[in-house]
Amino acid sequence: MATIYDVARRAQVSAATVSRVLNGRETVDPALAERVLAAVGELGYRRNAVARNLRKQQTSLWAVIISDVENPFFTSMVRGIEDVASAAGCSVVLCNSDENPEKESRYIAVALGEQMAGVIISPSSDRVEDLNLLSSSGCPVVMVDRELKGVRGDAVLVDNENGAEEATAHLVEQGYERIACITGPQRASTATERLRGYRNALEAAGRRANDTLIRMANFRADGGHDAMASLLDEQQPPDAVFVTNNLMTVGALECLVERRLDIPGDVALVGFDEVPWADLVRPSITTVAQPTYEEGRAAAELLARRIAEPDRALTRQILRTSLRVRASSTSHP
Amino acid sequence: MATIYDVARRAQVSAATVSRVLNGRETVDPALAERVLAAVGELGYRRNAVARNLRKQQTSLWAVIISDVENPFFTSMVRGIEDVASAAGCSVVLCNSDENPEKESRYIAVALGEQMAGVIISPSSDRVEDLNLLSSSGCPVVMVDRELKGVRGDAVLVDNENGAEEATAHLVEQGYERIACITGPQRASTATERLRGYRNALEAAGRRANDTLIRMANFRADGGHDAMASLLDEQQPPDAVFVTNNLMTVGALECLVERRLDIPGDVALVGFDEVPWADLVRPSITTVAQPTYEEGRAAAELLARRIAEPDRALTRQILRTSLRVRASSTSHP
DNA sequence: TTGTAGGCGTTATCAC
DNA sequence: GTGATAACGCCTACAA
């Protein structure tokens, strides 16, 4: 592999000049520049990013640590991030923490060790120190989707409480009596906020949340399935369910289909997060949609901005959700 | 940020000893080792991966360059890769080429510049040189899902031709007369192989493929939608469609639903690639399923093996698909 | 077993 | 504007 010294020799200039030509910041005699470029072409020279990173103490790589690559919610967000990153001349690498705090720690260590320019993360663990280690090492952190209190980093979130409240209120309005909630692990801020919104809506309707109708699952399809099954096995099963994420909604739906229950006749269903196939499923599923692409963009813009101005005040941006009413929660007898 | 020299000073040893303790290959006096470890803890030392990479001319990072993060096909494959990688002490970073040859080139350049230990890719372009540049620079390449002839790299594929043939034969058996095919861009080996399987099945049934019933789309939902619409607008529309990937199947399905056509009464549907919601959609969708997790594992194992033995003969592994018959292609009048 | 020293390929700081 | 030179932090012959 050719180095700048090889190029320098061939172009009859110094390595410093080659570097200057390649980086284009400083002015170089056009004649020399041309010779350098020619030599680069002839030798097929490509800059060694690792050496450059070592010298500059920084990469042009952004790490996006997401809790589940299988979740369409995140994959759409990633597009938003990439669009901003590439405009900023940076590349994005995705890391899949799989809702697993150990894996997450590993990837944080990778981002740190590889001196990535920044990290966008939807935290799977509640280990604040890991993330603060990043930011105190000069690698800015932007949280997206989920917030971890005490982390020095910007955040882009949606109004989970409000979205959940709207969803639940909608079920109340439709006349459902025993509205259950399947939510996620307590350490995820989204899970608790959405549960709170659910409770709020019931209280606003003069009811009380009933603990036998609440389940904490794992934000995955199997968790949603099992939670649904457990709810149906209650003495007094629910006539409606609010599920706080998309994969669990799929699981819950599978469970209902298996048991040949009619939706929304026997049990109504509202999910959080849009799914690409919401309109294809019969009945179509009512969801609380998030502007996922926008969340990605916003997070990426915050990151770009913080890289440019490390000392800005921390920002916390809240986007709005929107209720998409479909067949799974309407036309109740 | 502390360096090994800081640790060395604190532990009263040389930097070389620190390095040895940290890497654990060579033997070090236990007393010294303990002092080193203590110093590491006290200083919160973390090894600078960039410096290490520069010195060793290698990372412990694998790049997985996939053509579409939104496709559940790939996300499941990624799990398979990660499981093998972490067993090999490596970390996986995902790069999304978005079926865009430019983006793909960029990520290949990143992998090269960052001296990644290896690349697993499902090629979106047909630019053989890019990939051969990688492998000739000592960064092994494993192709997965799609093969590019002329690339020096291992490959893990499925028997696309056979899978497509089975799917089409199934439609023939069910009595469909005008079987259409929506396939992907010509540069993708999967698209052409699956089209060939479709043709084979028709010929085996004593029929001829009819070009007015064949569409080349972009492997994305919108492409499937538009291709379906265009097929339905034919003078003699099809009574069955074989769609060669999952996202296009979704698009085609949306189109059929929009036009209020009955599936499989008016038009039967078989898709390639499993989708997580295949059983939830009404009617459920017949698919040609691939062992995606296994493909990921196999690719990762090939990569690990090639990193260990760079001079092994190239391997080409073909896995089998399986037809999952569901409602969208059965009970024809 | 341990330490010394050189170098991985770049970029930034100097003189010129 | 250009060139020499010293880091960046680590690993690994080689010497002791």
The chain-wide mean pLDDT, for chain B, equals 94
| Average pLDDT estimate for A170-196 | 96
By CB neighbour count within 10 A (0-12 exposed, 13-18 middle, 19+ buried), where does B114 fall?
buried
pLDDT of residue A333: 47
Asked whether residue B281 carries a pLDDT value surpassing 60, the answer given is: yes
A20 touches strand D (CB under 7 A): yes
User: Which domains does chain B show, CATH number per domain?
Assistant: 1-47 (1.10.260.40), 54-158+294-319 (3.40.50.2300), 160-290+322-329 (3.40.50.2300)
What are the tens digits of pLDDT across the range A71-104? 888 888 999 999 999 999 999 999 999 889 999 9
Distance in angstroms (rounded) separating the CA atoms of residues B298 and B294: 6
Query: Which residues does chain B have within 8 Å of residue A75's beta carbon, measured at their own beta carbons?
Result: 69-70, 75
Q: Angle B27-B28-B29 (CA atoms, 0-180°, nearest 5)?
A: 130
| Average pLDDT estimate for A147-165 | 97
* Through-space separation of residue A35 CA and nucleotide C13 C1' in angstroms: 25
What pTM does this model have?
0.92
What are the tens digits of pLDDT across the range B39-92? 999 999 999 999 999 999 999 999 999 988 878 888 889 999 999 999 999 999
pLDDT of residue B114: 94
Q: Comparing A191-205, A206-220, B185-199, B274-288, which segment has the lowest mean pLDDT?
A: B274-288
What values do phi and psi take at B299, rounded to 5?
A: -60, -45
* Through-space separation of residue A39 CA and nucleotide C15 C1' in angstroms: 27
| Average pLDDT estimate for A64-72 | 88
Instruction: Evaluate the CA torsion angle A35, A41, A45, A46 in order and state its sign.
Output: positive
Asked whether residue A332 carries a pLDDT value surpassing 70, the answer given is: no
What's the token pair of residue A52?
A: 């450059």
Report the share of chain B in percent with pLDDT over 90.
89
Residues 10-69 of A with CB under 7 A from strand C: 15-16, 19, 22-23, 45-48, 51-52, 54-56
Distance from the B198 Cα atom to the nearest Cα atom in chain A, whole angstroms? 26
What are the tens digits of pLDDT across the range A97-108? 988 999 999 999
Give the pLDDT band (50/70/90) at residue A282.
Answer: confident
Residues in B 243-272 with any Cβ partner in A closer than 8 A: 250, 253-254, 257
| Average pLDDT estimate for A45-66 | 95
CA distances from A321 to A143, A163, A173, B179 (A): 18, 6, 19, 42
pLDDT of residue A296: 97
What are the tens digits of pLDDT across the range B82-137? 999 999 999 999 999 988 999 999 999 999 999 999 999 999 998 999 999 999 99
Asked whether residue B333 carries a pLDDT value surpassing 60, the answer given is: no
Distance from the A44 Cα atom to the nearest Cα atom in chain B, whole angstroms? 10
pLDDT of residue A29: 95
